[in-house]
Amino acid sequence: MYYYYYLNKYLLLIFIILLLFNLIYTNNKEYLLKNKKQLCSNIPSSQGKSLMAQLLKDYDKANKPNGEIIDVQVKKKKVTIQDISSISEISSSFIVDLWFSQIWSDPRLSYSHLSCKSNLSLDESLAQKIWTPNLCFINSQNTYIHTSPESNILLIIYNNGTVWLNHRIRVQGRCTMGDGFANFPLDTQSCFLVLESCGYPIAEVRLSWLNWNPVTVASEKLQLPDFRFVNLTYNRLLRQYNSGAFDQLLINFKFKRLYGYYVVQAYLPSYLFVFISWISFWIDRYALPARILLCVNAACALIYQMGNVVQNLPRVSYLKALDLFFFVSIFFIFMSLCEMAIIGYIDKIYELDQYRKAKSQRRLRALVMGQTDQTMMVALRKNNQNNNNNGYYTTFRENLANRYQNSRGSVINTYIHGEMGHKIDFFCARAFPIIFSIFNIFYWSYYLTR
């Protein structure tokens, strides 16, 4: 009985003690919150700079966070592509405007015990006073921070020491052709940016992408005059230098060239010049100067057109797809000139043979008609046969008549051979377009499917 009495007494005492402790803790918490609010209210409007002045009082930007701890994890990287303004084949570069964000933790900048603010938004002047991972685009040809009108730098420091540094920058990066310029202008272009810490190897700073959507495009429709944006990929690499191993964050942009400009400026004129050279097949073969002038003008125009296009391209030592088309077009025009040379040679041989046959025919006609009796008498005197001169004279005139008839047949044969030029023109007028069409089928099928 006494046992239960004392047990209830002790339980009541314990309950009263716990109640007192709870009351004291609640009052103390309210007191702390009240003091914290008083601390916040006592800070003037320049609270951010005042806090930063207090935080940076003994801050050394030359030292990494956590003092001797060298494993500083740069937690997050994020890049937002704002615009891609140009891609140059001459310099193999592209220009991109982007938001570049980096987030890391620096416990020395924690102020949760000093202020009720969850974060501080600061200007660029304070960004120069804190430690940063010193990241740079190692493959850039030119990089600068936008100033419109002030430097586009955003610095946010959270009360737990997390630092968020954001730059809006323009970078001129490098581009590499996937297969070189071998498929130009039906090619793809790969441009890339490489981020790396310029002063800290992996033993001191590790770089990593944000866990979700680390690289985004602000606008889904990037408009470029001669390229179509295909996609972008990102990766993390490890690069070994003499000074140590460094993390690299790679962004790869893939573009497909829009070849409509080159179709209008290069392919269609080339087709036109080749077609013009084929007109010579339908011009009378005796108008040889006009035919030659037509083909030579077409060849000169095509070579001039080729020079205008090539001068805007890098001087590579291999054959491009456009070069192949130009050379084949020039080859067809050159073969048209060769065909005219063959026709001209055949006509020249034909005319020379005609002249010789006509001259021989006139002489034979004169002999047959008795206009060169003296010539016949000389021939008779040279005859060593013992036949009667009158009989031989008759036989001789008959032989001349036969020779005259044979010469007429030879002239007819020569005329038939002279028609060979017409046959060659007729054949080439059909063979050239067929062969050129077959080439175009294979050409476009091959390069459009690569």
Q: What is the pLDDT of residues 246-305, one digit of tens each?
A: 999 999 999 999 999 999 999 999 999 999 999 999 988 778 888 889 999 999 999 998
- pTM exceeds 0.85, yes or no: no
Say if residue 380's pLDDT is above 80.
no
Cis amide leading into 133 (omega within 30): no
In angstroms, the CA 306 to CA 312 distance is: 11
Range of the domain at 204: 54-258
Q: Tell whether 59 is covered by a domain.
A: yes
What's the average model confidence in pLDDT over 66-75? 51
18: left (phi over 0), alpha (psi -120 to 50) or beta: alpha
- Choice between 414 and 348, residue whose per-residue pLDDT is larger: 348
Same domain, 65 and 80: yes
Residue 17 pLDDT class (50, 70, 90 cuts): confident
Partnered with residue 234 across adjacent β-strands are 251
Same domain, 74 and 170: yes
Write phi, then psi, for 436 (nearest 5 degrees): -65, -35
Which of these three, 236, 258, 280, is where a domain ends?
258
Same domain, 254 and 269: no
Q: Tell whether 374 is covered by a domain.
A: yes
Cβ(293)–Cβ(277) below 8 Å: no
What's the average model confidence in pLDDT over 61-77? 62
Q: Tell whether 46 is covered by a domain.
A: no
Same domain, 370 and 421: yes
Say if residue 336's pLDDT is above 50.
yes
Which of these three, 258, 283, 306, is where a domain ends?
258
Same domain, 254 and 277: no
Instruction: Return the percentage of the chain with pLDDT > 90, whole number.
Output: 32
What CATH code is carried by the domain that includes residue 270?
1.20.58.390
Same domain, 251 and 278: no
Mapped onto helix, strand or coil, the DSSP state of residue 424 is helix
- DSSP assignment of 285-302 equals TT-HHHHHHHHHHHHHHH
- The tokens describing 128, both together, are 């120069």
**What pLDDT score was predicted for residue 203?**
84
Same domain, 156 and 236: yes
**What pLDDT score was predicted for residue 435?**
97
What CATH code is carried by the domain that includes residue 197?
2.70.170.10
Residue 31 pLDDT class (50, 70, 90 cuts): very low
Same domain, 267 and 336: yes
Q: Tell whether 422 is covered by a domain.
A: yes
Mapped onto helix, strand or coil, the DSSP state of residue 309 is helix
Say if residue 75's pLDDT is above 50.
yes
**What pLDDT score was predicted for residue 392?**
46
Same domain, 247 and 311: no
Mapped onto helix, strand or coil, the DSSP state of residue 88 is strand
Partnered with residue 106 across adjacent β-strands are none
- Choice between 34 and 120, residue whose per-residue pLDDT is larger: 120
Q: Tell whether 386 is covered by a domain.
A: yes
Cβ(280)–Cβ(291) below 8 Å: yes
Same domain, 253 and 272: no
Same domain, 292 and 420: yes
Q: How many domains are contained in the chain?
A: 2
- The tokens describing 385, both together, are 């046969």
Q: Tell whether 164 is covered by a domain.
A: yes
Same domain, 104 and 236: yes
Q: Tell whether 45 is covered by a domain.
A: no
Which of these three, 211, 241, 258, is where a domain ends?
258
Q: Tell whether 22 is covered by a domain.
A: no
